[in-house]
Structure 1
């Protein structure tokens, strides 16, 4: 429902300097379409780049009334609060946006369109997009993506929130910058809001999860030339005891290539320090082994990890370069921070087998 040229105001209350605001922060970093204002009373009047490090010139305002002067058409909930409950100031601004004739987009598990107050506030010709809904007409996956002639790259991560979406979008940007036909399949709320389409994997019943990914990949590849690339946003991690997302992504996308995403220096699951991460070399073997099965006999060569996307955001420039060089030497494959360095080297490695 959210088109690439819709002027957006982000409802980011208290989330410009917090992980709870990761959806809006991802949009600020990666959305190509206009973001005309960000609402965050805690930082109103401040410089977005100073607050977040994101080099984008967007005014930070105190409330919806002030944001309306910048001409938004759609309000987007940029927070991912625990339990999906909106903080009261954000709820008030979301309702004010609807009452002012704006549309509203949300990736929360709580469906705002089913809230009577939100439904009543939505003006004629406007919409509320609760994107975290299971698609209709789902079927069990059958490995149909292997019939596609284009490359299909899936990002797999060592943990949650290590930068899989950012790495995929950087790779998409690198491909498009070189004139390579490329499509991005969003599988989480931020990726879908940024691209305007995709499948909210965590809203799909487990029996149909791989089938939902398969359908999204087939749709993304429609009309794509054989030399094109479909980049599938990763979710979760095989290393996380609470995650089930990697297998349906593998089965549904039937990738031709894999990209491993890791945070530099991380040795355990971020919020479960009693759960150690395996050596990256072992995880690469595991991912390649799992991706090699559950494939039709005609699928062609099994996918391989082609590069490492290393998240060095917690390091200074010197520490980042040292981590990149050490990891590349250890694994003998390209190791790149796609936010700091761009993804051209990753793309080159992915395309080198052609």
Structure 2
């Protein structure tokens, strides 16, 4: 039987596609939680689809799910192993291959959001053909993406932007989307990266789109909508990241956000993986986002700040958020802590509440 080598067709506007689930989350040999964001994101936001985790020698990160072999996972009803790592360059190293082959031989399909295609690894392609299992790559943009046109679209849009990569843009967008829906707002979460796509079941893998078509991809991801509808758009990269600013700018121009939220990790001092580059100040990100974003939406505004305070206890986190809110004249919150600070952020994004100074 021939293996199915699949690139699931994603609805351009973020509609879903069917993936075999539940999942066994693969952590590889990851030692930095920032690079395990796909596994951690799925465990946090799609727990009903996640049964266990699998790692190889050297891994120091865990999702907290039970450790399972592929055979144990298959016996528990798991249908697919999801590569839960987002490493620099999106590569599948040779050291992972024995575990991935074991998964295929145990009867699991492989799902990957890496840049490297699963079928480009001969040992995986051969094992999939031998076992009749599927190799599914989700970081594949749809065909026929147009060049951006800059036309202002109807509806409302919020974009999560960041001081760097992996600072909480996805978690912030998901939390804001959930809060909007709980308040009776008609809203969609628009995924732009592999983890968000796996959580939402559809989206646009922005960092796999050819640069000339980035803005066009963002335009079709968030199409015309009713005046009261909100698209909450997952951000990518950072305008200040020397490697990934291009995708951030294309997404900013194409998504035409009415509101943006700046995401920041309190413990982060330098660009991830680029220790010679200091993190920009939050106010620098606000200024740059408004200056560049106003090209396609002159009414763009900052709705507030989302800060990952996982390095602090509750009291210290509350103090930090209050200081930053006072300093910047905007709501500052940690979406995972919630509370009044997050309610203020939600309200200011929707335009129903604000804080600030004249």
TM-score for both structures, normalised by structure 2: 0.83
On the 8 A contact 1:155/1:232 being kept in 2, the answer is yes
> Can you give the 5+ residue segments of structure 1 that lack an aligned partner in the other structure?
296-300
Deviation at 1:102, TM superposition (A): 2.6
Deviation at 1:283, TM superposition (A): 2.9
Deviation at 1:228, TM superposition (A): 2.3
Q: Distance in 1 between matches of 2:275 and 2:121?
A: 38
CA distances 1:10-55 after superposition (whole Å, capped 9, x unpaired): 11234486433221111111225421111136699x9xxxx75x6x
On the 8 A contact 1:153/1:231 being kept in 2, the answer is yes
CA distances 1:130-184 after superposition (whole Å, capped 9, x unpaired): 122232112110124x222x21101111112111111111112222233322211
2:338 is matched with 341
CA distances 1:312-350 after superposition (whole Å, capped 9, x unpaired): 122222221121011001111110001122644322211
1:187 is matched with 192
On the 8 A contact 2:163/2:263 being kept in 1, the answer is yes
1:129 aligns with 2:146: no
Deviation at 1:268, TM superposition (A): 4.1
Deviation at 1:273, TM superposition (A): 4.4
2:44 is matched with 29
On the 8 A contact 1:201/1:245 being kept in 2, the answer is yes
On the 8 A contact 1:43/1:60 being kept in 2, the answer is no
Q: Distance in 2 between matches of 1:160 and 1:74?
A: 27
2:13 is matched with none
1:247 aligns with 2:278: no
* CA shift in 2, pair 1:155/1:184, >3 Å: same
Task: Tell me the SS of whatever aligns to 1:147.
Answer: coil
Partner of residue 38 from structure 1, selected from 27, 47, 53: 53
Q: Give the alignment's Cα RMSD to 1 decimal.
A: 2.9
After superposition, residues 55-70 of structure 1 pair within 5 angstroms as 58-61=65-68, 63-70=69-76
Q: Distance in 2 between matches of 1:19 and 1:267?
A: 14
Deviation at 1:206, TM superposition (A): 0.9
Partner of residue 309 from structure 1, selected from 306, 309, 333: 306
1:164 is matched with 169
Task: Tell me the SS of whatever aligns to 2:72.
Answer: helix
1:238 aligns with 2:239: yes
Deviation at 1:115, TM superposition (A): 3.2
* CA shift in 2, pair 1:37/1:246, >3 Å: same
On the 8 A contact 2:111/2:137 being kept in 1, the answer is yes
Q: Distance in 2 between matches of 1:250 and 1:82?
A: 22
Q: Distance in 2 between matches of 1:42 and 1:117?
A: 20
On the 8 A contact 1:4/1:32 being kept in 2, the answer is no
* CA shift in 2, pair 1:81/1:133, >3 Å: same
1:153 is matched with 158
1:298 is matched with none
On the 8 A contact 1:269/1:277 being kept in 2, the answer is yes
1:324 aligns with 2:290: no
> Can you give the 5+ residue segments of structure 2 that lack an aligned partner in the other structure?
1-7, 9-16, 354-358
On the 8 A contact 2:74/2:108 being kept in 1, the answer is no
* CA shift in 2, pair 1:12/1:142, >3 Å: same
1:141 is matched with 148
Q: Distance in 1 between matches of 2:269 and 2:36?
A: 25
On the 8 A contact 1:308/1:336 being kept in 2, the answer is yes
2:109 is matched with 103
Further displaced range: 324-333 or 6-15: 6-15
Further displaced range: 273-282 or 312-321: 273-282
Q: Distance in 1 between matches of 2:156 and 2:282?
A: 24
On the 8 A contact 1:9/1:76 being kept in 2, the answer is yes
Q: Distance in 1 between matches of 2:269 and 2:285?
A: 13
2:99 is matched with 93
On the 8 A contact 1:165/1:233 being kept in 2, the answer is yes
